Every structure is written in C-alpha cells, then in structure tokens.
Amino acid sequence: MGSLAGLSLSYNDFLTDLAANETLAEFVRCKIRQLVSDPCVAEILSPRDYPIGARRVCLESDYYTTFNRDNVSLVDLRSTPIVAITASGIETTASSYELDGIVLPLVSTR
C-alpha cells in the first residue's frame, strides 16, 4: 500500500516483536535495493541501527529513485560528519558543499 498503515497491517507485531521488526526491516531494505541503482548508496539509505518505526519511515513517492539522478549525490554524515555550517553551505570532514539553502528539522524540547 506504500504507507506505514499498510506495513502495519502486513506486519502487525513489528512494534512488539524484534524478530518481526527485523523481518519488516529486511523487506524495506530489499525495496530500497530495488529502487536505488547504486548498491553502496542503497546500503547507506537502508535502516540498520534502529528498529523500523523508531524513526520516521520514508515512504514518499520518488524519494529513493531521486538518488539515481545524475545531479543528486548522497553525503553520508555518519562517516563524514558536519564540522561547520558556513556562509555558503556545509563543511564535513571530507568536503565542503555549496548550498542555496539548508532545511533543518524542527525538534521540540518539551
């Protein structure tokens, strides 16, 4: 169904059973590998360090296929963390990226 509700109907115990959660996680990883042509990029995008449902599952249309475009690249901030936000963009431990804008998530402290 392409939604978290659809996944919940198919894997109704994924929030309470770690084995079921891993089954769902592998299903999601398999779908990502089908959509992303570069296996290295697909691996970076595949959730592994947290249970499915613990963070927002990205199910938007065309999100993963966007990484197949020539003008799109993935910057893995786990392996090359941000060291500075500059006047022209972002600097990581590996490179500097000039950007027109930066979108940051709103995080509540309550």
With tokens 């509540």, the residue in question is 108
Does 5 score more than 70 pLDDT? no
Contact 94, 76 (CB under 8 A): no
pLDDT band, very low/low/confident/very high, at 2 (cuts 50, 70, 90): low
Q: pLDDT for 70-99, tens place per residue?
A: 999 999 999 999 999 999 999 999 999 999
Cα(67)–Cα(62) distance, rounded to whole angstroms? 9
By C-alpha distance, which of 80, 78, 97 is closest to 89? Answer: 97
Q: pLDDT for 8-25, tens place per residue?
A: 777 788 888 999 999 989
Cα dihedral sign for 13, 58, 74, 85?
Answer: negative
Cα(58)–Cα(65) distance, rounded to whole angstroms? 12
DSSP letter for 77, please.
T
